[in-house]
Structure 1
Amino acid sequence: MPTHTLHEPARMPLAEHLRELRNRLIKAVGAILLVTVVASLFYKQLIAFLIDPLPGCAPGRLADAPDGERCGLIALNGLLSPFTLALKVAITAGVVTASPVWLYQLWAFLVPGLHRNEKKYTLAFLGAGIPLFLAGAAVAYWSLPTTTRVLISFTPDTATNVLPVDDFLDLATRMVVVFGLSFELPVLLVLLNLGGVITARRMSGWWRPMLMGIAVFAALATPSTDPLSMLLLAAPISLLYLGACAIAWGNDRRRASRSHER
């Protein structure tokens, strides 16, 4: 007979936890690979979509930017470079498009450690995690013109910035994934709170180092030196962190009320 109660989640041995983690990883990676294969059939359209925000540049020719910079995109050198670029873009599309699947697998792995009456709240936060990831990716894509314009502005007036396609796509794909994952911070914090790993009081006590860490992370994740790009990343994450603290306070109060009732 099982010994756990409604308020005490069942405990699994370590080997079973590892098997569960393996199965969830296989499903998550499988979904990403499946979407990657499909996206690889449209890699030229995906590359064109990522290049579109680049201001004042066009593939194969030079163009004048509105504020006077000059830049142009050049083809890749090397036999394997085009294949590597197409694979990178397809994998990024796979991670973004398959986010509902791998976020669900993450939630499903964490659910056994939660109380039954808390799982319904976690499912709601899973529903928030998917649009948050996609919103972060959208913010990254939207900020690409500002980021690239600032970087190109360092080009001397008498020179033309000849930009390799792979350099720009490295920047674009990295920003899309990093922004998307960073927007998952509140979901992770709330899941840890629901699992009893951290309390709302501890989360709130971290606000100074957390906001400082968010600012440093935004500075490192956005390669341009302009404050606008940093603000576009730091401000939403900071607000989401404060929102997670508020949700955690509410959950801790409900948990304390149930303890007093018993």
Structure 2
Amino acid sequence: MAAPELDHDSQDQEQGLFSHLIELRSRLLKASATVVIVLLALIPFANRLYTELAAPLMARLPQGAHLIATEVASPFVTPLKLAFYASLFISMPMILYQLWAFVSPGLYRHEKRLARPLLGAALLLFYAGCAFAYFLVLPAAFKFLTAVTPEGVEMMTDITHYLDFVMLMFFAFGLCFEVPVAVVILAAIGIVNVDQLRNGRRYAIVGAFAISAFITPPDITSMVMLAVPMCFLYELGVLAVRWLIRPAAASTAE
């Protein structure tokens, strides 16, 4: 008599897994469709987007200097790559929403209460890191790099290499600005608490300067411009732990 029940349970599990896979496929298709639609809308403006992206460097190049393309297809392919990156950047709220819609039904109430603000904060902080890199760090870094160019050497950067460098900087600064989210997650899973975070402040400062020295171009200005916000964001993360983790723990105990 037990065998039919086991077969029925296994069929239910297979149907549940199949329904989850169908939902995941649907969510991925919606996210991908959003990226494609935004990409198609941005393709006519791809060259203009690249001009705006190159503005921090072009403004600091010597008179008559310009970017170059060392590969035959670079003038066509590189702006398209930028348009694709921009479409991912713009579509990220929809991508994260689809991910949240798929995962949230399996979370407890207190987990949802903590995950919602963390997800929104992670997105906003990543955007803030990219904007910080574009408007403040890159101009300072290019000013330094053009100033230290040896006499007799003309600085002419390849457009593909420039795009790769700027995208790497955006990604690095976006991740570094996620410090408060990382601190809250570590506290939420019990690895650290508020007292440990406060006592570890000096190590966080040293770590921030070490990371910024590794990521930024080789000038002290760029390093300080990343390290100081990371220290501030660490303190913000400590405050967020006090605001978010204790109520969540209390609600779990209840």
Q: Find the counterpart in structure 2 of residue 183 from structure 1.
A: 177
Identity %: 32
Pairing partner for 1:47 from 17, 29, 50: 50
CA contact (8 A) 2:187 2:241 kept: yes
3-state SS of paired residue (2:72): coil
State whether structure 2 residue 131 is matched by structure 1 residue 138: yes
CA distance in 2 between counterparts of 1:137 and 1:177 reads: 7
Aligned pair count? 237
Measured against aligned partners, the alpha-carbon deviations of 1:78-129 in whole angstroms (never above 9, x if no partner) come to 3322233123211221232122223334544554564314524432333333
Summarize the alignment of residues 53-132 of structure 1 with structure 2, pairs less than 5 Å apart.
Answer: 53-54=56-57, 55-57=59-61, 63-64=62-63, 72-108=65-101, 111-112=104-105, 114-132=107-125
Summarize the alignment of residues 9-48 of structure 1 with structure 2, pairs less than 5 Å apart.
Answer: 19=21, 27-48=30-51
Query: Residues 186, 108 of structure 1: CA spacing in aligned structure 2 closer, same or farther, 3 A cutoff?
Result: farther
Report the more deviating stretch, 42-51 or 82-91: 82-91
User: Structure 1 counterpart of 2:40, which letter?
Assistant: V
CA contact (8 A) 2:110 2:248 kept: no
Q: Find the counterpart in structure 1 of residue 156 from structure 2.
A: 162
Deviation at 1:230, TM superposition (A): 1.7
Report the more deviating stretch, 148-157 or 174-183: 174-183
3-state SS of paired residue (1:225): coil
CA distance in 1 between counterparts of 2:106 and 2:156 reads: 53
CA distance in 1 between counterparts of 2:183 and 2:28 reads: 21
3-state SS of paired residue (1:41): helix
Deviation at 1:48, TM superposition (A): 0.8
Q: Find the counterpart in structure 2 of residue 229 from structure 1.
A: 222
TM-score by structure 2 length? 0.74
Query: Residues 258, 240 of structure 1: CA spacing in aligned structure 2 closer, same or farther, 3 A cutoff?
Result: same
User: Structure 1 counterpart of 2:73, which letter?
Assistant: L
Query: Residues 250, 214 of structure 1: CA spacing in aligned structure 2 closer, same or farther, 3 A cutoff?
Result: same
CA distance in 2 between counterparts of 1:22 and 1:114 reads: 20
User: Structure 2 counterpart of 1:131, which letter?
Assistant: L
Query: Residues 179, 126 of structure 1: CA spacing in aligned structure 2 closer, same or farther, 3 A cutoff?
Result: same
TM-score by structure 1 length? 0.72
Q: Find the counterpart in structure 1 of residue 7 from structure 2.
A: none
CA distance in 2 between counterparts of 1:93 and 1:251 reads: 32
Query: Residues 79, 172 of structure 1: CA spacing in aligned structure 2 closer, same or farther, 3 A cutoff?
Result: same
CA distance in 1 between counterparts of 2:172 and 2:92 reads: 13
Query: Residues 105, 74 of structure 1: CA spacing in aligned structure 2 closer, same or farther, 3 A cutoff?
Result: same
Larger Rg: 2
CA distance in 1 between counterparts of 2:230 and 2:163 reads: 24
3-state SS of paired residue (1:141): helix
Unmatched 5+ stretches in structure 1: 1-11, 58-62, 65-70
State whether structure 2 residue 211 is matched by structure 1 residue 217: yes
Query: Residues 101, 78 of structure 1: CA spacing in aligned structure 2 closer, same or farther, 3 A cutoff?
Result: same
3-state SS of paired residue (2:56): coil
Query: Higher strand fraction: Structure 1 or Structure 2?
Result: 1
Query: Higher helix fraction: Structure 1 or Structure 2?
Result: 2
Measured against aligned partners, the alpha-carbon deviations of 1:169-227 in whole angstroms (never above 9, x if no partner) come to 22222222332233233234435645x364434872654554444333322322x2222
Q: Find the counterpart in structure 1 of residue 166 from structure 2.
A: 172
CA distance in 2 between counterparts of 1:111 and 1:209 reads: 35
CA distance in 1 between counterparts of 2:232 and 2:165 reads: 25
